[in-house]
Amino acid sequence: MMMSKLMVPPMMTMKLIHSHLDHKLSKEEVDKLEKKKWAYKWVVAMSNYKWRGTGECFLKELGSFLFHGLKTTLYKHWLGIYEKSGGVDFDSSKQGLFFTICNSYRDILHHNKKPFYLKGLEEDSRTMDAYIMHSLNHIFRTRDLVKKNDAKLPKLQENVKADVLNNEAFLDRGFTRPKVLILLPLASVAFRVVKRLIDLTPPKSKSNVEEHERFYREFGAGVSEDKEDEDVAEMSESKRNSKPSDFQTLFEGNNSDHFMIGIKFTRRSIRLYGDFYSSDMIVAYPLGLITKIGEAELYKDKNVDYLSSTEVLIVDHADIILMQNWSHTNTIVEQLNWIPSEQHGTDIMRIRQWYLDGQAPLYRQSIILSSHISPDINGLFNHHCLNHEGKVKLASEYKGVLPKVVLQIQQIYERFDANTSEDADDARFDYFTKKVFPKIKDSTQGGIMLFSSSYFEFIRVRNFLKPQEASYCLLGEYTEQSDISRARVWFFDGKKKIMPYTERAHFYHRYKVRGSQNLIIYSLPERKEFYPELKRIVGTAAAKRMVTSDKGVFVFCKRQVTIFSTEVLGKGKILLSKGSNYYCSSEIWFLS
């Protein structure tokens, strides 16, 4: 159903943090969750995308939108910031909508978030504000419950205290203090998130921000608070023009990908760089945590028990983490909510029973945010996010990026068949080696760039080319800089005929590879914005004759539905002819 204004129905006003944490799972519920089978029963449509969910639908078409469950002090402070920035109708705002989705405590997969570095600053900031406020609300409300019970216990007589502790109302904590874990790809992104976290914290709770200067120094690349928002005018015009604008915006700050910071909220202050066991929130890049996990495996006196009681996990900019090392993220999520090796000073009589029963993963909310979807992100969401409240995920209709290819370059799409998605890699490789490479080998033409989205595909193609005595040079993410410089010269001069090139190398460097006359896309890029960029690489030189026809870009597509094909090519089935700028030797499927 289409809608313009949303709110949580009255029946859901109590479905908040305490009802989520106090819910007792039956054996049948546990068995069902562990099967990892999800039935999406409802859809709420909004402009060009839809929210789909399991269980009961909690989004309805109503007259207004309310922030049910948000602490009054947080709401008033957030409202003031919103109005100060010129916003109107806060109760119907997009950040309000996403906060409500977060506040449902369901696992969330948002895979069409326009990031700040791709002209999506406003949308990205709204989403960030919502999950930050949800995190603050979770931390403050769980802390309020603990303080309330702390105040009650001293007033009880000793002879009844033991009986009272058996009362479930006093089960108010996990094994350790940290409740929120936020995984981010770069220190500059963490700087942006933590800075906004401080802004969104009400004044009474941040009369003092400890280690504030250290944070600006280490995460802000030495930028002072006064100069942080200034335009970087010192950047030379030549450097500004040498890379795309999204590259400049993303990598202009602190690019460190090895960081980890604990954040503790006291009654009137925020303590940055707190000890992890005494922190309420941990913000980290996956590699930072992987290092700690590795140390815990090597040394008996080290552990990562502070991950045992994570109740809200947020993975923002997951698409960038994909370009780094997604396996680290999988490892971390698998390590969450383990029963700790030590007590760490926790009053065991007040630990929630489901922690002791090893059911904490079934109560953890996971929020994954990305600019696009991928099998790796889908796999994490489907197999490692098992929240008993259920799931909500986006279902987008992609227009594709072909209209953004402004250069008049002929694009040829070759279809190969694969029975299943699992067979696709072998089918693609078989098609390349038997149908495509023989034509390249017999041709005298050079300047052939061979693009792969995966490093494993890159290695597989390289291992094939080597015994064929093919003329090639490599441009991958692990290629030494001296070898890269040499390869680019050889390719431009025509001394090497083929250049295998990876998406990750393009993401980190955006090389301008001179001498490219034809582009073979072995596998479509995960990041759809790279498709027009790759075309521009070919467009720097006139396309020459390869084998039998004038070919500028040559793409492999399998007939089955794929995520990347949909995002790059768009929705719908179109048969293209030789008379257009797109040509298909057999049939091209624009997949939905």
Q: Residue 520 has which token pair?
A: 């073979």
CA dihedral 152, 153, 158, 162 (to 10 degrees): 120
Cβ-based neighbour number of residue 339 at 10 Å: 12
Question: What is the reported pLDDT for 61?
Answer: 56
**Residue 558, SS3?**
strand
Total-model pTM: 0.88
Backbone angles phi, psi at 385, to 5 degrees: -115, 100
CA dihedral 22, 26, 27, 29 (to 10 degrees): -90
**Residue 223, SS3?**
coil
Question: What is the reported pLDDT for 159?
Answer: 60
Question: What is the reported pLDDT for 400?
Answer: 65
Q: Which whole-number Å values give the CA distances from 362 to 77, 305, 337, 505, 544, in the listed order? A: 32, 18, 10, 38, 58
Beta strand pairing call for 545-546 and 312-315: unpaired
Question: What is the reported pLDDT for 47?
Answer: 65
Q: Which whole-number Å values give the CA distances from 24 to 265, 388, 433, in the listed order? A: 29, 10, 56
Q: Which amino acid is at 126?
A: R
Question: What is the reported pLDDT for 52?
Answer: 94
Residues in the chain: 592
Question: What is the reported pLDDT for 231?
Answer: 42
Question: What is the reported pLDDT for 557?
Answer: 55
Single out the residue of 583, 110, 11, 89 nearest to residue 370, CA to CA.
110
- Specify whether the CB–CB gap between 518 and 449 falls below 8 A: yes
Question: What is the reported pLDDT for 241?
Answer: 60
Q: Which helix (H) or strand (E) covers residue 151, if one does?
A: helix 121-152
Single out the residue of 217, 560, 553 nearest to residue 402, CA to CA.
553
Residues in the chain predicted with pLDDT less than 70, given as ranges, are 1-15, 47-48, 61-66, 157-166, 221-241, 398-409, 535-592
User: What is 321-344 written as a DSSP string?
Assistant: HHHH-HHHHHHHHHHTTPPPSS-T
Question: What is the reported pLDDT for 69?
Answer: 87
Question: What is the reported pLDDT for 237?
Answer: 47
Question: What is the reported pLDDT for 24?
Answer: 95
Separation between Cα atoms, residue 3 and residue 167, nearest integer Å: 44
Separation between Cα atoms, residue 369 and residue 325, nearest integer Å: 16
Backbone angles phi, psi at 308, to 5 degrees: -70, -25
